[in-house]
Amino acid sequence: MRPHPIAAATAAALLCAALTSCSPEGEDPLAQPPADAAAVPDTAETEETDPSQQEQEEPGEEFPAPVGWAGEPLERDGEEYPGMDGGVGGETVTASDAEELSDHLAAEEPLTVEVSGRIDLDGAVGVGSDKALVGVDGGAELTGGRLVVDGSDNVVLSNLDMESEGTAIAVRGGAHHVWVDGSTFAGGGDSSLISISDGADNVTLSWNHFTDAGSAVTIGGDEDEPGALRVTVHHNYFDGTAGRHPSARFAEHVHVFNNYFRSNPEYGVRSSHDSNVLVEGNYFDGTRLSVTLGEEEPGNVVTRDNLLVDSEQPHLLGEVPDPPYAYELDGTDGVPDMVTDEAGAG
C-alpha cells in the first residue's frame, strides 16, 4: 500500500519524541532534515556549531502539501487563505470511541487526531477547522455514521476505512481546503459516498478506493451557484461502482486525472449545469460510458490521454481551462497496477 503522508508524518513525530536528543529545543518535531544532510563524524574533535545557526541550516517540510485544488490559495469575503496544513503544528491526540473523536474534532485549536481499530460513529460527526484525522496502525475503521465538514477549512482526512448506509463524508457550507486521501469507502445506499456541495471549494480526493456502491462522488447540488466547487480527483480506484466518479453540477473547475475505472455499469464522469470538467490520463476498463453530459443541462467537458477498454467513447462539449497548479501526469497504461496497489486504507 502507498504510505499515507499524514500518518507517516505523525509517526515520525512520535518516534522523534521518544529519542532523548532527536531535535534542538523548539524545533518543529515534524520537520525533516534535508536529504543531503551530512552525517556527524564520530569524533570528539568535531567543530562546535552555534545551536541557533544549526537550526537555520536544517529546515524541513512540515506538511506534505496535497496535489490539486486543496493546495491552492483562495480569497473569500476579503480573507486570503494561502493553502492548507491540516492539524500539523498543533498537538497530536488519540481517540478510542465516538465521543472522544467528536470532542477532538470539534475543538477550537489545531489538532492531529489519530485513530486505530474500529469506532461506531453513531450518527454524524462534525469536523472543525485545522484538523487532521489520521488512521494509524493499519488504519481506522469507521462505521455507523458519517463525517461532516460544514463550513470548516484546513481539514485532512487520511487512511480511513468507512462503510456507510448513506454519505460517508459530506463537505458543505462553504467549507474549503479539504483533502481526503488514502481511504476506502463502501456502501452509500441511495447516496454518494462523498458529497461536495453548498459552496464548498478547494478540495482534493486522492488515492481512495471506492467499492460496493451505486454512487461514488457528487460535486454540486440544486442550490449551488457558479464560482466555487473547485475539486481535484486523482489516483482513485472506482472499483465496480455504478456512476458519479464524479458527477458535477455548477462546478467552477473539476480536474479528474490518473484514476482507474473498472466495471462501472452506468458511466464514469458526468458534467452538467455549466460545470467545467477536465478528464485526462484515466484508464476506463469495462465502463459503459466513459464521460457523459447532463441530458437537460449539459456542462463543459474536455478529455485527453485517456485509455478506453470495452468502454464507449466520451461525449464532449465546450472548452475547459487547465488548472493553475503543477501536477505530474503518470502514464495512462500504468494506472491500473499503480492505483490498485496503492489506493485505499491500510
- Distance from C-alpha of 211 to C-alpha of 249, rounded to nearest angstrom: 23
User: Is the link from the previous residue into 246 a cis peptide, with omega within 30 of 0?
Assistant: yes
E strand or H helix that includes residue 278 = strand 276-280
Output the pTM of the full model.
0.85
**For every one of its 346 residues, what pLDDT tens digit does the chain have, with 9 covering 90 and above?**
665 666 555 444 433 333 333 344 444 433 434 444 333 333 333 344 443 333 333 333 456 789 999 999 999 989 999 989 888 789 999 999 999 999 999 999 999 999 999 999 999 999 999 999 999 998 899 999 999 999 999 999 999 999 999 999 999 999 999 999 999 999 999 999 999 999 999 999 999 999 999 999 999 998 898 899 999 999 999 999 999 999 999 999 999 999 999 999 999 999 999 999 999 999 999 999 999 998 889 999 999 999 999 999 888 999 999 999 999 999 999 999 999 999 999 8
Q: What is the pLDDT of residue 22?
A: 37
For the chain, which domains are there? 69-342 (2.160.20.10)
Q: Are 196 and 174 in contact (CB under 8 A)?
A: no
Helix, strand, coil percentages (3-state) for the chain, rounded to 5, are 10, 40, 50
How confident is the model at residue 5, as a pLDDT?
Answer: 61
The reported pLDDT for the residue numbered 40 is: 37
Buried residues in 218-255 as b, exposed as e (16+ CB within 10 A): bbbbeebeeebbbbbbbbbbbbebbbbbbbbbbbbbbb
Per the CB < 8 A criterion, the answer to whether 164 and 187 are in contact is yes
Give me the amino acid identity at 318.
G
